[in-house]
Structure 1
């Protein structure tokens, strides 16, 4: 197909390395179709940049091509209707033996469309963005913090020969040293930073001013095989940072089946909410938190898991999943799925916000024993589950209520408990009494803990056993519930029961 703007196109394209977008504002429907077909056979990512087909019609009409407007009205501009679609396959120039998406695109444009590319400012309103996805090995900037990200990072290090050419890490800046109760300086260093130092990996830290002030190293900006990987990083990566990497070469390993449990604490909330199914997703990092297209995922069962056990299980899955994704990144990008197209997309996405201390406070009015026990497994690694214990006999307001953390929790079915002493049987009958409110507790020696009444799930009541308790301000927890109760016998009521409350803290 003859055209007059080829040199101008090449000149403009020369300003972009193959890792950056090439904008082709084609005017004709026929050229749009030709380019679409080309991309099906090429190594580019092609995006339709118009919110709707009517937008395409308006652009075609503005170009004065009435026949093409008619074609667009009759056939639309498939397959790029209503939302961005991407198609990716490896492109190869037989003459040079290198990837060259520009040559294929240029040859398909007619004279008018090729001139449009050469016009001043034509790329500011593109109909197409064309981008190469490099095959491995990659030059990786890895962003992470904790043990979960360490497992992912170690998997990348194991693939230095085939998948990874070079790797550097970016971690949050270390907080200011804090004094311990004994006056010693303590600094919380991110585990990923320690691991990278062991392997002599270049380490970057997030500036105190935030990621907006972080400069992506030129070695990544200027490379077509640069790859950004984030796992349990804890920061929203700003657009300027993301734009330094190719569109599909910025990946996040997220420990949930997106769009479920978007946010900073998916593992904790999967346990606390009693999910019977979770997993790991590999998504493209988008400008909106956890909204990127999905390239890979795998399910996992979190039944009766603690946070640490489930974290380690999902980290191992995520590490293998990332390696599998990198081996075939161009092909997986071609089949990437928007989160809105997932099987459960008819259900609203769920959030997993960062766990705060207030989330660990027991609300006796709404929480069953099962729910409290799940909450304990999910968040106690960060904040122990706790409650408030009033002292009705106190004269000093400072001692009128105590904060008590609950440890080693178990849901108890009283119908299955045997060999109870007479005192235990009497106390438990009082707990079962309708007049006993949730939060009422008594000591059970046969069970080896403090038995606490909770609201029921589909029944009158449920019961929780706390084997260890710790009052805030005390140097260490009591060895068991019986020892702990010795200091609070004056708070027992006439029935010999202790009462906890749901006094909520201010957020």
Structure 2
């Protein structure tokens, strides 16, 4: 099929790589280059980098609401547009351009976790599974008819990064299957039940500050869900300490935020209910370190307290 692909991050690049092997990509849409790194140099997105490596036409409009951008897309004469974590709103005029419309690869089992951060929100909520939904896009926020769904279990040790990687691969498989069914007329739309919908709000650094008054299970999920961005943070005095890995430990009873045990492997901290054993930490300007190395430059002892909330 003649496809326009629209996507920006690595999640989308996985799908593009799979599509290139089976279909004709007439153009790739990706967000404009953004400053990144210490030098804040303009850096192309993972999708743009992959497209250029394979000699594909790349378009980077700042918006799709302008007639010029819409006209350029229409001139491509594509049968379908595949969208994955693109980051720009597709107005009705664009949705109607391809013969088969626009198909979105969404990283949740819709209607649960519509919105910007479905992978992280699923972990934070303690969901047992998530998955991929290939959806027929409409003007709403992830409200279109579902065309294909595949589930993926959330393992106890999954972080947002590991779950992202699993879903990126699953998303690539799903879009190939969906397009195959589309070509053979076997793709049947299923409306979403709006009453079952939940919203996956965009992540903020403020929400990633740990509140030790919560129970240990919630905090452990937060540490996994906020990795690798924005990373869970705990205030020790006025110093923000990033917590990159931890597990639930036995014991409680001390005030929330109190350090109840320290050894070469773990710093155990009392929570509102239960105890959390910190394994990997990072101080401002430093590297992520296991507890033994972290303590050499930042001594923490039993009885010390993290700011509770």
Q: Which residue of structure 2 lines up, in the alignment, with residue 469 of structure 1? A: 281
Q: CA deviation at 1:174?
A: 0.9
> Does residue 53 of structure 2 align to residue 198 of structure 1?
yes
1:326 equivalent among 171, 179, 204: 179
Q: Which residue of structure 2 lines up, in the alignment, with residue 244 of structure 1? A: 97
State how many pairs are aligned: 306
**TM-score (ref. length: structure 1):** 0.56
Q: Distance in 2 between matches of 1:189 and 1:464?
A: 39
Q: Distance in 2 between matches of 1:174 and 1:402?
A: 33
Q: Distance in 2 between matches of 1:276 and 1:235?
A: 30
Residues 488 and 308 of structure 1, relative CA distance in 2, 3 Å threshold: closer
Q: Where does the alignment leave 5 or more consecutive residues of structure 2 unmatched?
A: none
Residues 477 and 323 of structure 1, relative CA distance in 2, 3 Å threshold: closer
> Does residue 78 of structure 2 align to residue 230 of structure 1?
no
1:450 touches 1:481 (CA, 8 Å); kept in 2? no
> Does residue 34 of structure 2 align to residue 215 of structure 1?
no
Q: Using CA pairs under 8 Å that are at least 6 residues apart, name the structure with larger relative contact order, 1 or 2.
A: 2
Q: Distance in 2 between matches of 1:222 and 1:478?
A: 50
Q: Distance in 2 between matches of 1:357 and 1:444?
A: 28
Q: Distance in 1 between matches of 2:286 and 2:259?
A: 24
Residues 502 and 233 of structure 1, relative CA distance in 2, 3 Å threshold: farther
Q: CA deviation at 1:284?
A: 0.6
2:223 equivalent among 366, 369, 376: 376
Q: Distance in 2 between matches of 1:482 and 1:268?
A: 29
**Which whole-Å deviations, capped at 9, do the CAs of 1:210-239 have from their partners, x for residues lacking one?**
33236135463573x521110111222122
Q: Which residue of structure 2 lines up, in the alignment, with residue 301 of structure 1? A: 153
Q: Which residue of structure 1 lines up, in the alignment, with residue 19 of structure 2? A: 156
**TM-score (ref. length: structure 2):** 0.89
1:364 touches 1:438 (CA, 8 Å); kept in 2? yes
Q: Which residue of structure 1 lines up, in the alignment, with residue 109 of structure 2? A: 257
- Higher-helix-fraction structure: 1
Q: Which residue of structure 1 lines up, in the alignment, with residue 206 of structure 2? A: 358
Q: CA deviation at 1:370?
A: 1.6
Residues 407 and 319 of structure 1, relative CA distance in 2, 3 Å threshold: closer
Residues 186 and 411 of structure 1, relative CA distance in 2, 3 Å threshold: farther
Larger Cα-atom Rg: 1
Q: CA deviation at 1:202?
A: 0.5
Residues 242 and 449 of structure 1, relative CA distance in 2, 3 Å threshold: same
Q: Which moved more, 1:226-235 or 1:185-194?
A: 185-194
Q: CA deviation at 1:200?
A: 0.5
Question: 3-state SS of the aligned residue for 1:484?
Answer: helix
Q: Distance in 1 between matches of 2:280 and 2:153?
A: 29
Q: Distance in 1 between matches of 2:170 and 2:219?
A: 28
How well do the aligned residues superpose, as a CA RMSD in angstroms? 2.4
- Higher-strand-fraction structure: 2
